Amino acid sequence: MLTSVFAFLVAVGLLVFIHELGHYLAARSVGVHVQRFSIGFGRPLITRRDKNGCDWVVALVPLGGYVQMTENEDSSRSFDRKPLWARAWVVVAGPLANFVFAVVAFTCLAIVGRPEPVAIFDQPGEQSVAQRLGLQKGATLLALSGDPVRSYSDFRWKMTQSYIGQGQSRFDLLVRSANGSERTITLDFEALQPLAQDASIDDILLKAGIRPQSNGVLVTSVLSGSPAEQAGLQIGDQFLSVSSIPVTEPQDLQRFVASSRGQAVDLVVRRQASGQQERLVIQPQAAPDGLGYRLGVGIGPSLQTQWVQYGPIQGIERGIQRTAELSVLSLRALGRMVTGDLSWRQMSGPVGIAGAAGQSAELGFIAFVSFLALISISIGVLNLLPIPMLDGGHLMYYAFEFVRGQPLSAQAQQAGQRLGLVLIALLTSLALVNDMSRLFGF
């Protein structure tokens, strides 16, 4: 919990600073005086005035920020006295800074490299779509709908783009079996209906019986005060056996613990820190809902990985491409929500973002930087929407001014601001409702 809160505050603070820094630098570049640069709202906690007369502030409520510029003054340094192009540049520079950060982050990650799971499938579940299609354990995915696949992560990303962004539900998978023969199988999501409205691509693939091959079971999280924490289990430890029976799938361990009836479980684990094997005896506790027993750990498969790395030029291209793809995907997803083709339950709010921030932070620096880049793109896209009170709303006003030859009346702008406030409140409320429904399971 504390990790999620801290990671969330770091993420919000950094990305808001980058966004507002874009506005600040653009304002300075066209000679606009900035009176205040604030991270957060409400009562100032820290204030420092620079030599240019700008107050740099960290405020009490850390959910956002703003740059306050001189306006409504008969001065060349007043924002409203600047020509239309200069005002538009100052407004668009905030979202642009978020996109630039994402490009730099993805570029650095591509050049440094990262381990990615190989695209080898595990044994499909009984009576699953994948089993009926004849998919077998050890089959390697070569291409998705004619597009070569580099890793399982690449496969998930291509599926997300097609399903979430374009509404595609039918996919051709070129696979090579363990004996070397190649064939194409067609996966149709229509055969999986009904699907939960907020189902992720991983949820859908798992329901279809498709998952990466697991070579073991890893600890991904440890609940405070749980039997697992008391036994000293840590994130990254690997389960090797339970009661002398080898475990290679998370489901193996889950079934055994669930059937233990609260009796002590004899486990052998390999410690991530030392690499040494250790025998532990842990007594499961009853789950809060009274259904089954648990150790108090999150678990996931131990996957075979390959190191994916790019050269400097390819890395830059990769950074630009990934930022562009995510931006387009965000816009397409929003468009499909508006038309009703995609459920609004896919939207996440601050609670969901905080949870994702904590999980990525626990997975390491690379995962957290990837998360920051993703949220930075979301902030950039959201702020460019033509909603009054957002940067895109100001750009919409400037477009009207360009066409009409004069600004909109103060009354029209105030009406737009009120409408924008209502829309933002509705979107925020919807995101919070989605967060609560995921958190409490309703």
Question: Residue 331's pLDDT is what?
Answer: 86
- Identify the three-state secondary structure at position 279: strand
The order of strands in the sheet holding 140-144 is 147-148, 140-144, 170-176, 182-188
Mind listing the pLDDT tens digit for each residue in 338-397?
777 766 666 665 545 555 555 555 567 788 888 889 889 988 998 998 888 889 999 999
- Pairwise CA distance, residues 405 & 402, whole Å: 5
What would the two tokens of residue 288 be?
């809060």
Question: Residue 371's pLDDT is what?
Answer: 85
- Pairwise CA distance, residues 183 & 441, whole Å: 40
Parse the chain into domains and list their residue ranges: 2-33+70-110+369-440, 129-213, 214-303
What would the two tokens of residue 317 be?
């291209």
Please check whether the two domains, 129-213 and 214-303, share a CATH topology: yes
**CATH tag, 129-213:** 2.30.42.10
The percent helix, strand, coil of the chain (3-state, each to 5) is 50, 25, 30
- Identify the three-state secondary structure at position 441: coil
User: How confident is the prediction for the chain on average, in pLDDT?
Assistant: 83
Question: Residue 363's pLDDT is what?
Answer: 60
Mind listing the pLDDT tens digit for each residue in 206-242?
888 888 888 888 888 888 788 888 888 888 888 888 8
The domain made up of 214-303 has a fold known as Pdz3 Domain (2.30.42)
Question: Residue 311's pLDDT is what?
Answer: 93
Mean pLDDT of 326-343: 80
User: Which residue, 169, 183, 172, 171, is CA-closest to 139?
Assistant: 183
**Cβ–Cβ under 8 Å, residues 265 and 283:** yes
> Which residue numbers are catalytic?
20
Q: How many CA atoms lie within 13 A of 105 on its CB side?
A: 23
Using 50, 70 and 90 to split pLDDT, how confident is the model at 442?
Answer: very low
**Cβ–Cβ under 8 Å, residues 68 and 39:** no
Strands 238-242 and 265-270: antiparallel
Element containing residue 264 per DSSP (H, E): none
Question: Residue 433's pLDDT is what?
Answer: 63
pTM, to two decimals: 0.82
